[in-house]
Structure 1
Amino acid sequence: MAKKTYRRELTEWLILVTVGLTLYFTGLHTEAIGLVQRGLLATGIIQPDKITEERYADYGFYLSNIKGEQVVFEEFEGQTVFLNFWATWCPPCIAEMPDIEDLYQKKGNEVTFVMISMDQSREKAKDFIMRKGYEMPVYFLESSLPKSYDTHSIPTTYVIAPSGKLVVENHGMAKYDTESFRSLLDQLNQSTTSSFPN
């Protein structure tokens, strides 16, 4: 009886190790972990953090879009901006992307989405976006980031009001496609404040 239990446990462990190694060596472990974390996001427990102090966005940096065209972030001044830093090697980034894509499908005509890939391989990021069928705009950094954006951990997300005020700063994954978050974006779009700090 004890021998059967031992063999069964050994077999179970061998299967787990084999699956784990297969996922790791095929590069699918990130997406597998992301899938598990996505289940956690679906509960709605993890919500984005609003900024309480008065802080403003710095528009002084450069990007390139997925086609390789240069974009000055300053072009988005005066708009509501959903700014997200992500990478294909980051399981929490992978976990929250379907939710962000859903939000983009609902609010992409009213809110400017700027999804900045931190991948060293731009081709890997492009392939991932195409394979997943995501339509949200992806960008790459072409200059250093201003100090106002802390991206020591990803995913990191900011929401910038048309006034230039930073409204949301969230480090780590969160569920964005919620009624309350969409309502926040609507409020920002309806605000008539157009003054920018000097």
Structure 2
Amino acid sequence: MEKKKFSIKNIPGWAVMLAVFATLYFTGLHTEAIGQVQRLLLATGIKKANVTEETIPANTTTPTESSGSSMAGAGFKMRTLDGKTVSFESLKGKVVFLNIWATWCPPCIAEMPNIQSLYDKIGSDKIAFVMLSVDEGGVEKVQKFIDKKGFTLPVYMPTSQLPQEFYSNAIPTTFIISPEGKIVGKQEGMAEYDTQEVRDFLQGMVK
């Protein structure tokens, strides 16, 4: 009986796809691959951010409304990647763009380049960007990711419990906080932020 010669053409398509996904998973590249696909989705313009007050759920309260404090995130502490501790309240008086993300989150990876672009274009010391990483792998993991991507965004990690007003059912989630300390915008899930609408919204609150 004549033996059949092996040919890659004889390998079922599902087996090839399984091998590809397995390789991506075990090399840790699956997050990056998914993020790239989702970045293409953002590039179509169908996921533009809507961070006006209309996006805030009716049951969302800030400390100003619930506990008499003067700013959302009052008491919250975070640190820079070089170890400097920062009080969230120290940002009062500025417009705050707060993005909660993680290196293991594909949608976070997808939207970060356009947040970097927004940051580059804003160019105002009265608008503070807070890229808050909730990674549990330590600062080294986050620093390695930021260095690899070449991002210059201000990145922080929490050193105290996340305030209740910043809780969300999704990651990433972005909050816009007014100079008075009130949450005036919220976007759950990935979105495109480098738009004229978002730039005008942020700059319109600058005093």
TM-score using structure 2 length: 0.83
Partner of 2:170: 153
| Equivalent position of 2:148 in the other structure | 131
**Larger deviation, residues 124-133 vs 12-21:** 12-21
Deviation string 1:100-153 (CA, Å, 9 cap, x unpaired) is 111111114342000010111121111000110000011010001221112342
Corresponding residue of 2:53: 51
| 1:48 and 1:168 in contact (8 A); partners too | no
Cα distance in 2 between the residues matched to 1:169 and 1:93: 15
Distance 2:10 2:185 in 1: 47
Aligned to 2:80: 65
Partner of 1:196: none
List per-residue Cα deviations over 1:46-103 (Å, max 9, x = no partner).
Answer: 1323233685423320001010111111110110000011001100000000011111
Report matched runs for 1:52-131 at 5 Å: 52=54, 55-56=61-62, 57-110=72-125, 111-121=127-137, 122-131=139-148
* 2:161 counterpart letter in structure 1: S
Name the CA distance, whole Å, in 2 between partners of 1:51 and 1:145.
22
Q: Deviation per CA, 1:145-187: give whole Å up to 9, x if none.
A: 2211123421010011112221211110000000111111111
In angstroms, what is the RMSD of aligned CA positions? 1.8
Asked if the contact 1:86–1:118 (Cα under 8 Å) also holds between the matched residues in 2, the reply is: yes
AA aligned opposite 1:120: E
How many aligned positions are there? 184
Cα pair distance change 1:76/1:33, threshold 3 Å: same
2:32 aligns with: 31
**Secondary structure of 1:189's aligned partner:** coil
Amino acid corresponding to residue 73 of structure 1 in structure 2: F
Gaps of 5+ in 2: 1-7, 63-71
Q: Which amino acid aligns with 2:163?
A: P
1:8 Cα deviation from its structure 2 partner: 5.0
SS in 2 for 1:94: helix
Alpha-carbon distance change, 107 to 14 in structure 1, aligned in 2, over 3 angstroms: same
Corresponding letter in the other structure for 2:75: G
Q: Deviation per CA, 1:19-47, whole angstroms, max 9, x where unpaired? A: 11111001010010000000111111113
Instruction: Give the distance between the partners of 2:61 and 2:10, measured in 1 at CA.
Output: 55
SS at match of 1:139: strand
Q: TM-score, normalised by structure 1?
A: 0.86
